[in-house]
Amino acid sequence: MTEPKTPDAAAPTGPAKKHPRDGKPHATIYDIARVAGVNPSTVSRALSKPGRVSAKTQKLIEDAAAELNYQVNPFARALPTGRTNTFGLIVADITNPTFFDIIRGAQTTATVRDYTLVLAESAESGATELTAARRMMATVDGLILASPRMDDDDIRVLARDKPVVVINREVDGVPCVVPDVHKGISEAVRSLAANGHTKVAFVAGPQQSWMSARRWEGVQAACEWSRLEAVRLESTKPTVDGGRQVARDVRASGATAVLTYNDLLAIGLMQELQAAGMVVPDQISIVGFDDIFGADFTTPPLTTVRSPLGECGSGAATLLLDLLHGTGDPAATLRVETELVLRGSSGRLLPAG
Amino acid sequence: MTEPKTPDAAAPTGPAKKHPRDGKPHATIYDIARVAGVNPSTVSRALSKPGRVSAKTQKLIEDAAAELNYQVNPFARALPTGRTNTFGLIVADITNPTFFDIIRGAQTTATVRDYTLVLAESAESGATELTAARRMMATVDGLILASPRMDDDDIRVLARDKPVVVINREVDGVPCVVPDVHKGISEAVRSLAANGHTKVAFVAGPQQSWMSARRWEGVQAACEWSRLEAVRLESTKPTVDGGRQVARDVRASGATAVLTYNDLLAIGLMQELQAAGMVVPDQISIVGFDDIFGADFTTPPLTTVRSPLGECGSGAATLLLDLLHGTGDPAATLRVETELVLRGSSGRLLPAG
DNA sequence: CAATTTTTGGCAACCGGTTGACAAACGCCC
DNA sequence: GGGCGTTTGTCAACCGGTTGCCAAAAATTG
């Protein structure tokens, strides 16, 4: 490049390769071997293969390691073995609180099982997601995809390389964690029917969302069973803002109860309807999905079909870790139960007046 | 351990070392070298040192790499160089939405600058935090500590090893990103004074929280300036639940306006006071801190002193990355501005009646 | 006490890149 | 065409662990 040639002017603070920043380089197994008076390979075994060396040398080595306060170099270990004790989690959108709980669940399980979590997001784009996934694949032992936007086939290709677990979607041949919408939705619809509602609107989520399709199916089925009329409305995006925007369609639909693809839509919708002077739930009932953080901050607090998101995250992590350790079914689907959380935003319809 | 001795029963699916799961092992620079008819080191240079090889061989090598769809092995690269293109972020509590925005900001910046973010949490414990930090240090190029709970000295020790940036706290000699509470708080207190309040309570956060101390100082100073009385109340924990618990102390204090250490406390407090029949803001004004996600879901929506958390996250990441690339001041403090977000939970005190 | 089995530790190759030193090849000028 | 400086590519050592194989040492047995 355009660098001056004077060699001694090159390194200002001179971060000599190995020395992290200041003083001494980190201790290696060779240092330990020297201190303990044994061979490096013996140190390696003492530190990773329990029972392979005699108790005496074990102690010798451990003492030396402690003295030098040795820490394994994860890269040196990963290079020959391929194991990193790390797994990746890719979410569609970090902005979306749905994923907060999933992240938390996965993170917790990771820590407990002595793994490290690496996080990435796909910005709701299948292409970005695939890129992120590919990049991650190189550094992790396995991957969790939460609400993936990429094709089934892409997922399967990834899964051939290393264990992959999918959340909120079912992909043939890949282990999945999916909330079973049935119970929660039928509870919700039955509750609405019992409160005198006859026409229910469903505000759908993104087109590519597998989950949105399942929820609409569930709503249709439950409405049919309870002999309610169900109409589907589209949203522009699955956010609070999207909820506000769909408000006029909701009013135009003539439905007296609304289920939305997720809580954010429900919250935005409720805000907009209230701003227009409607009273919730007297004039319209609103039911969300997921029971995200903050769903009970609203007035009235939001009735919602709870998906145990934290459980999804930790369940997926457990599935993955089991897979990594050889136990666990490589094509198991973990179904978690949904349930209605009845709060104030749904209830009996008051006669107009 | 208690493992059976039969050696051939050990590997059920027998994952042959290198082969990820199924077929062929990944391509290496040696493979590329063979295909392109050059030396491996030439391949290495072509792929990482732009301009070091001739355009002709460059192309030759790139084609071969594309054909074999080569991906560098990050471990092999990290081993000699020590660089990983990864940095860590440790937050006190993933449950706490304050950190959501910080995570998001950091993550975004990381992606833009082609870094990977590794996440960990400390469960609000200084000891856990230090352990997590130590563990991470080995695998990352740098570290961001958000609202750290460990000692200043521990932080400085870490910072000697690799670049560290701290959010929400000031540590001498370590680059920090801190919201400057002054502007936001004085706006808030002035607004309260203008609305006829004379006695203000501050609900404090965790003892070890540097930020809580700064906020209390800020409130005291601003109250003095506006000639309001300020009292300090303690909370058990900085959560919605903690907010509920502190409600009786708040009533007992006789204050007509409350500032809380964070929004969660404010939300919990408001819920509890409303449940007890008090009207917000007619009987009591409530002001939170941070403007977290969901702060505007409440009724009335929460007035709060906004800290630009996303900006903190991205700012810290930028600081760190600059440090890693040699630019950037190793002891700079980035101050971000706070501001009052006036919503419905604060206002004029109505005469009792 | 010798013979045999089991432990235990050492040797050396390997994982897949990076990099300093050096030599061959090249372009340029007189 | 010889002398000189610059590219460009090669060699070989190295990063720090892991692991198969073997021999020495220790424990067990007849």
B280 and B328 in a common domain: no
A74 and B12: CB-CB below 8 Å? no
The tens digit of pLDDT for each residue in B330-352 reads 778 999 999 999 999 999 988 76
Quick check: is A3 in a domain?
Answer: no
Domain total in chain B: 3
pLDDT band at A21 (very low <50, low <70, confident <90, very high): low
pLDDT for A6 equals 33
pLDDT for A22 equals 58
Residues written for chain B: 353
Rounded distance, CA B23 to CA B11, Å?
17
pLDDT for B14 equals 32
pLDDT band at B4 (very low <50, low <70, confident <90, very high): very low
A237 and A89 in a common domain: no
B303 and B184 in a common domain: yes
Amino acid (one-letter) located at B62: E
Other beta carbons less than 10 A from residue A141's beta carbon: 21
Tokens matching residue A204:
């759908």
Of B75, B104, B299, the CB nearest to A299: B299
Rounded distance, CA B83 to CA B114, Å?
13
Other beta carbons less than 10 A from residue B100's beta carbon: 26
pLDDT for B353 equals 52
The residue of B139, B239, B240 whose CB has the most chain A CBs within 10 angstroms, and thus the best one to mutate to test that interface, is B139
The residue of B73, B75, B345 whose CB has the most chain A CBs within 10 angstroms, and thus the best one to mutate to test that interface, is B75
B111 and A121: CB-CB below 8 Å? yes
Our measurement of CA B4 to C1' D25, in angstroms, reads: 26
pLDDT for A343 equals 96
Strand D within 7 A of B138 CB: no
For chain A, the first-to-last Cα distance in angstroms comes to 79
B8, pLDDT greater than 50: no
Residues A96-114 have a mean pLDDT of: 90
Nucleotide nearest to A81 (CA to C1'): D18
Task: Report residues 54-73 of A contacting strand D, contact meaning Cβ closer than 7 Å.
Answer: 70, 72-73
Chain B closest-CA separation from residue A62 CA (Å): 18
The enclosing domain of A67 has a CATH number of: 1.10.260.40
Helix (H) or strand (E) holding A144: strand A142-146
Quick check: is B349 in a domain?
Answer: no
Residue A136's SS3 state is helix
pLDDT for B22 equals 58
Bridge-based pairing of strands A303-306 and A339-341 is antiparallel
B10, pLDDT greater than 50: no
Give residues 176 to 235 of B whose Cβ lies within 8 Å of A.
none
The enclosing domain of B109 has a CATH number of: 3.40.50.2300
B59, pLDDT greater than 70: yes
A103 and A65 in a common domain: no
pLDDT for B9 equals 33
User: Pick the residue with more confidence: B95 or B283?
Assistant: B283
B194 and B296 in a common domain: yes
B45 and B139 in a common domain: no
Q: Find the farthest-apart pair of alpha carbons in chain A and give their distance in angstroms, rounded.
A: 92
A172 and A90 in a common domain: yes
The tens digit of pLDDT for each residue in A56-72 reads 889 999 999 999 989 88
User: Pick the residue with more confidence: B15 or B263?
Assistant: B263
pLDDT band at A114 (very low <50, low <70, confident <90, very high): confident
Residues A222-239 have a mean pLDDT of: 96
A170 and A188 in a common domain: no
Quick check: is A79 in a domain?
Answer: no
Quick check: is A5 in a domain?
Answer: no
B210, pLDDT greater than 80: yes
Q: Which residue of A has its CA nearest to B128?
A: A111
Structural domain range at position A161: 85-178+310-334
The residue of A93, A117, A134, A139 whose CB has the most chain B CBs within 10 angstroms, and thus the best one to mutate to test that interface, is A139
B204 and B270 in a common domain: yes
B173 and B318 in a common domain: yes
Our measurement of CA A1 to C1' C29, in angstroms, reads: 25
A137 and A91 in a common domain: yes
Q: Which of A210, A211, A289, A177 is nearest to A243 (CA)?
A: A289
Quick check: is A102 in a domain?
Answer: yes
Residue A27's SS3 state is coil
pLDDT for B166 equals 97
A292 and A185 in a common domain: yes
Tokens matching residue A235:
């949203």
pLDDT for A23 equals 57
Our measurement of CA A40 to C1' C12, in angstroms, reads: 12
Lowest mean pLDDT among A11-20, A197-206, A307-316: A11-20
Rounded distance, CA B133 to CA B144, Å?
9
Percent of chain A with pLDDT over 70: 93
Give residues 286 to 315 of B whose Cβ lies within 8 Å of A.
293-294, 297-299
Quick check: is B339 in a domain?
Answer: no
Cis peptide before A351 (omega within 30 of 0): no
Strand D within 7 A of A30 CB: yes
Quick check: is A1 in a domain?
Answer: no
Percent of chain B with pLDDT over 70: 92
Instruction: Check if the beta carbon of residue A146 is closer than 8 Å to that of residue A317.
Output: no
The tens digit of pLDDT for each residue in A260-277 reads 999 999 999 999 999 999
Q: Side by side, which strands form the sheet with A303-306?
A: A229-233, A199-203, A257-260, A285-290, A303-306, A339-341
Q: In this complex, how many residue pairs, one in chain A and one in chain B, have their CB atoms less than 8 Å apart?
A: 124
Residues with Cβ within 8 Å of A67's Cβ and at least 6 positions away in sequence, in order, are: A35
Beta bridge partner(s), residue B232: B202
If DSSP states are collapsed to H, E and C, what string results for chain B? CCCCCCHHHCCCCCCCCCCCCCCCCCCCHHHHHHHHCCCHHHHHHHHHCCCCCCHHHHHHHHHHHHHCCCCCCHHHHHHHHCCCCEEEEEECCCCCCHHHHHHHHHHHHHHHCCCEEEEEECCCCHHHHHHHHHHHHCCCCEEEEECCCCCHHHHHHHHHHCCEEEECCCCCCCCEEEEEHHHHHHHHHHHHHHCCCCEEEEECCCCCCHHHHHHHHHHHHHHHHHCCEEEEECCCCCCHHHHHHCHHHHHHHCCCEEEECCHHHHHHHHHHHHHCCCCCCCCCEEEEEECCCCCCCCCCCCEEEECCHHHHHHHHHHHHHHHHCCCCCCCCEEEEECEEECCCCCCCCCCCC
Quick check: is B347 in a domain?
Answer: no
Instruction: Check if the beta carbon of residue A12 is closer than 8 Å to that of residue A6.
Output: no
Give residues 64 to 93 of B whose Cβ lies within 8 Å of A.
71-76, 78-79, 82, 84, 86
Residues B204-216 have a mean pLDDT of: 93
B162, pLDDT greater than 70: yes
Residues A237-242 have a mean pLDDT of: 94
Beta bridge partner(s), residue B142: B87
The tens digit of pLDDT for each residue in B126-161 reads 898 998 898 888 899 999 999 998 999 999 999 988
| Residue B95 CA to its chain's centroid (Å) | 12
